[in-house]
A = this chain, B = another copy of it.
């Protein structure tokens, strides 16, 4: 038998993990729906031309390419690739569907693929949870992106988070003010590392990139709050977005202006935001911003857009670490045992009745001694078992056993259904 394994960076999500994961995704999707973000799915494969040139040279190298197959395709020919994020596919959808009413609000929860070097906890396939609004100017749509993240995190049970807010044009004004307008990208990339490498690290990086000590000193002055000429409109937009977000119920304590916030992606053009946990270690659990240029790359006309992405995989890891993923890891509420061939019909009737009533129920498929059956149920995390022996079968009752407390009661099937239905 051959050695059986998965490709590098791939993983299975086994049932115990999937049940918790589905709860997290469902909570997020409920909040997305409350905000009126309508669900969209795009195919795993896009044409290569659609993807390349959007994620920078480094990103392009990480795109998984798929061999052309089927009629007309030659072995080795490549014309499609796996999606790398959900934003570029959205831009393509907008270009291909001029009938969509604008502003267009969509949510998308799907896996993406990146040929990154696999690391602990990082995979080459992972889910993104995005909401974006296309076709709305700066203002309400940006505030909604902040508010929806705020509400998602609360709904998941997080309380210790801060949403940081900045404006890309403020950073552009910063670059201009230190006579480095043409090197804005480099400046932003360096500042973006502040959390990871600290002030000294950023200063060293800027020196290494040929910025003068005078320029660097001025950068810190401005980041520390010195007035910055030419940033007035950006700041006014931030004021507006912040006020709207607060009016939407975002907690003032959780919203923080941060002049050092840059967000790595090339395509942001306006307000940018990210969410960090007070005690969540390095890195953000959500990030986004306004990108008024990207959609136009596909449409031939400028269409404004703003969006935000929740870091699902990171959130799940944090929730596991913190013990926030409560609830049973088994979806099955009751395990119906099989005492003998003679009582099998009664057990079948019971399991069917539970299912009809919407109570997730299993019946012992493997048979064996009663004790073994109860142990199988318990070890899977099923909270209740039903035993129907000859006495119960004759009396038309069932024995309902709480597998945690060991408590047993003999009652009618319909009462047992009521009891388990109510407790779920």
B-contacting residues of A (Cβ < 8 Å)? 1-2, 4-8, 10-16, 18-19, 22, 30, 33-36, 38-47, 49-50, 61-67, 69-71, 73, 76, 78-80, 82, 92-93, 95-97, 100-103, 105-106, 111, 113, 115-117, 124-125, 133, 135-136, 139-141, 144, 147, 151, 244, 247-249, 298-300, 330-332, 344-345, 348-349, 351-352, 354-356, 358-363, 365-366, 376, 379-380
CA distance A366 to B105 in the complex (A): 12
* A6, A30, A300, A376 — most chain B CB neighbours (10 Å): A6
How many angstroms between the C-alpha atoms of A111 and B261 in the bound complex? 38
**Interface residue from B6, B348, B360 paired with A247 (Cβ < 8 Å):** B348
Check A64/B66 contact, CB under 8 A, given A38-B18, A45-B7, A101-B379: yes
A70-B34 in contact given A12-B42, A40-B18 (Cβ < 8 Å): no
In the complex, which residue of chain B has the Cβ closest to the Cβ of A91? Answer: B4
Docked complex Cα distance between A43 and B124 (Å): 9
The complex is assembled from copies of this chain, and their number is 2
Give chain B residues whose Cβ lies under 8 Å from the Cβ of A348.
244, 247-248
Q: Are B13 and A46 in contact (CB under 8 A)?
A: no
By the criterion CB–CB under 8 Å, are B140 and A365 in contact?
Answer: yes
Is there an interface contact between A76 and B76, defined as CB atoms closer than 8 Å?
Answer: yes
Cβ contact within 8 Å between A12 and B36:
no
**18 A–B contacts, CB within 8 A, in A order:** A4-B92, A4-B96, A6-B92, A7-B45, A7-B80, A8-B70, A10-B46, A15-B106, A19-B39, A33-B331, A64-B67, A66-B82, A71-B117, A103-B366, A135-B366, A136-B365, A136-B366, A139-B365
Identify the closest chain B residue to A354 (Cβ): B34
Given contacts A6-B47, A39-B22, A45-B125, contact A78 B70 (CB under 8 A): no
Alpha-carbon distance A105/B204, docked complex (angstroms): 57
* Complex contact A100–B64 (CB within 8 A): no
User: Across the interface, do B36 and A331 meet the contact criterion of CB distance under 8 Å?
Assistant: yes
List chain B residues, Cβ under 8 A from A105.
362, 365
In the docked arrangement, what's the CA distance between A150 and B359, Å?
17
Min CB gap A131→B, angstroms: 12
Do B4 and A44 touch (CB < 8 A)?
no
Is there an interface contact between B5 and A82, defined as CB atoms closer than 8 Å? no
Which of the listed residues A33, A49, A78, A356 has the most CB atoms from chain B within 10 Å of its own CB? A33
> CB distance A140 to B363 under 8 Å?
yes
A87 to chain B, nearest CB (A): 14
Taking a contact as CB atoms under 8 Å apart, the answer to whether B70 and A365 are in contact is no
Complex Cα gap A26–B155 (Å): 21
- Taking a contact as CB atoms closer than 8 A, the residue among B69, B76, B113 that contacts A61 in the complex is B69
A46 vs B113: C-alpha distance when bound (angstroms): 13
